Amino acid sequence: MVNSPPTSQSTNLPREFSFIRDHFGPLGGPAALGLRDDAAVFTPAEGRDLVVAVDTLVENVHFLPDDPPETIGRKLLRCNLSDLAAMGSKPEGWLLAFSRPAHITNDWTKRFSEGLHKDQETFGLSLMGGDTTSTSGPLVLSLTILGSVAHGQAIRRQGAKAGDGIWVTGTIGDGALGLQALQGTLEDPTGWLAEQYRLPRPRVGLPLFGLASAAMDVSDGLVQDCGHLARENGLHAVLYASTVPLSPAVQTAGSQWLPTCLTGGDDYEILMAVPPEHEAKLAASAMLDTPHGAVPVTRIGTFTNGPHTVTVLDDDGIPLTFPTGGWSHL
């Protein structure tokens, strides 16, 4: 009889398998095959395209060791859900690559996976697979998300035309000011800002097809991301600063924080180009329905012909300048 490999207490499973089964087993949907196969098997519904993205969070870069583990997992999943939402697609499943340093305890991982469990129920998807490795460095979490969309109906960054309105969901700047609040540079009496930073609300299920000519999610800062849309479409973007929707908490913080709001990132709202023929109806309701409730939408600017950059105008038509256009990951 062959000696067993290193085992967990009560089974003859090697440690890695027991770790996966204990912490992530309950999250597995049908495609996961019990997390016991070499790969997951997912049958896309007929006539649906698959939409797939990956996002990584690194300890000390994207979160801190003493951040609550529940929200770290949920934020990671929500950032990915936001990518799906930007393409007008429906969540199906996710895979997790978990590179674990020695200081990440079982208790930490339990709370991390509990947060994910909660969110996958909210957003209607399930774990399909993953990989667990050890590392001598910080915790690295890479989440691959799979969604689906009716064939040919994925919304892309390309597709906007001069004259299209620039619209955004929700409010801008809450995440960026939430980070400031967590760093102690800003008062956050209601805790709203920190909450938005830790648990962004992905706009899953927005009915973008037939409405938006192009879309993306706002993750690196409104101005920088608007610049991406401008460049992708060979257009100039004009934004009107006073029309950018701000939450009560951001308004309370004061206008000196406006540059941070417009360039700070972590919004996870959806930025859309909307052709003029669809704007009147959108302006009338100022809302879009989703399976997770109605989402406010606001017109904040226009695409024009011109240099493939962004101009932000104040109420007097004077261009604003910012020390930085957004967040670069390297």
Interface with a copy of itself (CB under 8 A), residue from 130, 200, 202, 245: 130
Contact segment (CB under 8 A) with a copy of itself among 133-141, 164-172, 273-281, 291-299 equals 133-141
* Cβ proximity to a copy of itself, 89 vs 181, nearer residue: 89
Q: Are 59 and 104 in contact (CB under 8 A)?
A: no
* Cβ proximity to a copy of itself, 60 vs 255, nearer residue: 60
Interface with a copy of itself (CB under 8 A), residue from 29, 108, 111, 135: 135
Question: Mask 143-172, x = binds a copy of itself (CB under 8 A)?
Answer: -xxxx-x-x--x-xxx--------------
Q: Are 25 and 11 in contact (CB under 8 A)?
A: no
Regarding 207 and contact with a copy of itself (CB under 8 A), the answer is: no
CA distances for 135 relative to 5, 97, 255, 257, 320, angstroms: 20, 12, 44, 39, 45
Regarding 49 and contact with a copy of itself (CB under 8 A), the answer is: yes
Which residues belong to the annotated binding site?
Answer: 38, 55, 62, 83, 130-131, 157, 217, 219-220, 266, 327
Rule CB under 8 A: which of 309-328 touch a copy of itself? Answer: 309-312, 319-328
Q: How far apart are CA 279 and CA 180, in angstroms?
A: 35
Q: How far apart are CA 5 and CA 182, in angstroms?
A: 44
304: closest CA among 251, 248, 239, 235? 235
> Taking CA 201 as the corner, what is the angle to CA 151 and CA 203, rounded to the nearest 5 degrees?
25
Q: How far apart are CA 314 and CA 170, in angstroms?
A: 21
Interface with a copy of itself (CB under 8 A), residue from 24, 71, 73, 83: 83
β-pair partners for 148: 50, 90
Regarding 193 and contact with a copy of itself (CB under 8 A), the answer is: no
Rule CB under 8 A: which of 238-297 touch a copy of itself? Answer: none
Regarding 14 and contact with a copy of itself (CB under 8 A), the answer is: yes
Q: Are 161 and 275 in contact (CB under 8 A)?
A: yes
Tokens, residue 84: 């799906």
* Cβ proximity to a copy of itself, 110 vs 156, nearer residue: 156
DSSP 18: H
Number of residues that bind a copy of itself (CB under 8 A): 98
